[in-house]
């Protein structure tokens, strides 16, 4: 499997504290990966590094076939290069309909000079419809987003991210606050999305991770502690001690 994202020997220090410690790992172009680990393991900092929010002290982060260094790009350039990030809380425009939110996301994807002359055309409507179908909101297009359930808002935001056609999507705790049915839908959505792009899910809910049925990376003290199937990593004695055995 060719790597889409390659993190190599990355370290980050905050006020003398090494939050990421010589971290190395890679993600394939069509891969679903779960990242787990105790609080403070460096999961958020890892996502901050990949998206350009935090700059490492050393190491390299490369992306795509041409191994472009993400460390020399701004946050906006990284997003344009194809890295999308879904934060834990949904940030949809509640006063706008589902269709309007998706349309805005399509518009945002375009270069600024094109937005000036932008007018919604049949292609955009078809694309909005396709995005809504992809995330399971095709029946909700005319609804105000504020009326949606928590899970539906999360799917809408995922749809808005998909409008930017990311090649790598980083998703922070997607299952948090969801009902069982919403979790199941979210699982399907993530599995489907990872057939055509890389999807990295940071998640604490082990039952949810099990359903994802994917390779798992366990972070601890800013480095990879274990990697492999969930069954494999949960048998690891160190993983049990630092993560699973708590409380
Ligand atoms: N901007 C910052 N300044 C100082 N310390 C920071 C900063 N960001 C993160 N840290 C520290 O770096 C370590 C890693 O934090 P990070 O948020 O990446 O962990 P995490 O694995 O995402 O944890 P959680 O599961 O609680 O979200 C923590 O000890 C945290 O306190």
8 A C-beta contact, residue 59 and residue 22 = yes
Question: At 81, phi and psi to the nearest 5?
Answer: -70, -15
Residues near 98 by beta carbon (within 8 Å), at least 6 away in sequence:
132, 137, 140, 141, 142, 143, 145, 148, 156
Query: Ligand 1: which of 11, 15, 17, 19 to mutate, most ligand atoms within 8 Å of CB?
Result: 19
Strands 3-14 and 215-220: unpaired
- Gap from CA of 24 to ligand 1 centroid (Å): 18
Cα(196) to ligand 1 centroid in Å equals: 31
Q: Find the 21 Cα to ligand 1 centroid distance in Å.
A: 13
95 contact partners, CB below 8 Å, separation of at least 6: 144, 145, 146
Predicted local confidence at residue 1, as pLDDT: 60
Nearest CA to ligand 1 atom 1: 14
Q: What is the pLDDT along the chain (247 residues), one digit of tens a residue?
A: 679 999 999 999 999 999 999 999 999 999 999 999 999 999 999 999 999 999 999 999 999 999 999 999 999 999 999 999 999 887 899 999 999 999 999 887 655 555 555 566 668 889 999 999 999 999 999 999 999 999 999 999 999 999 999 999 999 999 999 999 999 999 999 999 999 999 999 999 999 999 999 999 999 999 999 999 999 999 999 999 998 876 4
The Å distance, Cα 203 to ligand 1 centre, comes to: 15
For residue 212, how far is its CA from the centre of ligand 1 (angstroms)? Answer: 25
What is the C-alpha separation between 25 and 227, in angstroms, rounded? 10
User: How far away, in angstroms, is 118 Cα from ligand 1 center?
Assistant: 41
Assess contact for 104 and 122: CB atoms under 8 A. Answer: no
> What pLDDT, on the 0 to 100 scale, is given for residue 107?
80
Q: Which residues form the pocket of ligand 1, taking CB atoms under 6 Å from any ligand atom?
A: 14-15, 19, 37, 39-45
> Which stretch of DSSP H or E encloses residue 112?
helix 112-116
Number of domains making up the chain? 1
Backbone angles phi, psi at 180, to 5 degrees: -60, -45
Provide the β-strand partners of residue 32: 199
Spatial contact of 226 and 215, defined as CB atoms under 8 Å apart:
no
Atom nearest to 15 CA in ligand 1: 4
Ligand 1 mutation pick, 11, 41, 170, max ligand atoms within 8 A of CB: 41
- The confidence score (pLDDT) of residue 31 equals 96
Sign of CA dihedral 192, 197, 198, 201: negative
C-alpha to C-alpha distance for 213 and 151, rounded to whole angstroms: 21
**209 phi/psi in degrees, rounded to 5:** -60, -40
What is the rounded CA–CA span in Å between residue 110 and residue 131?
17
Report whether 132 contacts 126 (CB < 8 A). Answer: no
Range of the domain at 37: 3-244
Q: What is the CATH number of the domain that holds 226?
A: 3.40.50.300
Whether the CB-CB separation of 214 and 47 falls below 8 Å is answered with no
Q: Which of 13, 23, 44, 201 to mutate to test the pocket of ligand 1 (most atoms within 8 A of CB)?
A: 44
- According to DSSP, the residues that pair with 201 across neighbouring strands are 34, 171
Contact (Cβ atoms closer than 8 angstroms) between residue 20 and residue 50: no
Nearest residue by C-alpha to atom 5 in ligand 1: 14
What pLDDT score does 116 carry?
Answer: 53
**Residue to substitute in 10, 12, 13, 14 for testing ligand 1 pocket (most ligand atoms within 8 angstroms of CB):** 14
> Distance between alpha carbon 85 and the CA centroid of its chain, in Å?
5
């Amino acid at each position: 499997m060719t790597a889409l994202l390659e993190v190599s020997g990355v370290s980050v220090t905050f006020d003398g504290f090494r939050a990421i410690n010589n971290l190395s790992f890679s993600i394939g172009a069509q891969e679903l990966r779960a990242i787990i680990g105790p609080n403070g393991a460096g999961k958020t900092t890892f996502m901050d590094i990949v998206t350009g929010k935090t700059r490492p002290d050393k190491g390299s982060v490369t992306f795509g076939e041409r191994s472009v260094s993400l460390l020399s790009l701004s946050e906006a350039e990284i997003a344009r290069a194809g890295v999308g990030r879904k934060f834990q809380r949904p940030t949809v425009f509640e006063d706008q309909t589902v269709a309007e939110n998706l349309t805005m996301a399509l518009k945002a994807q375009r270069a600024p000079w094109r937005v000036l002359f932008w007018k919604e055309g049949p292609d955009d409507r078809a694309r909005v419809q396709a995005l809504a179908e992809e995330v399971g909101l095709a029946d909700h297009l005319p609804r105000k987003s504020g009326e949606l359930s928590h899970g539906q808002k999360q799917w809408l935001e995922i749809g808005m991210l998909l409008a930017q056609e990311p090649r790598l999507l980083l998703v922070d705790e997607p299952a948090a606050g969801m009902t069982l049915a919403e979790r199941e839908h979210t699982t399907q959505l993530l599995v489907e999305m990872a057939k055509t792009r890389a999807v990295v899910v940071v998640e604490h809910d082990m039952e949810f991770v099990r359903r994802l049925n994917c390779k798992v990376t366990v972070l601890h003290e800013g480095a990879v502690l274990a990697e492999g199937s969930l069954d494999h990593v949960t048998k690891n004695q160190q993983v049990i001690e630092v993560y699973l055995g708590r409380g």
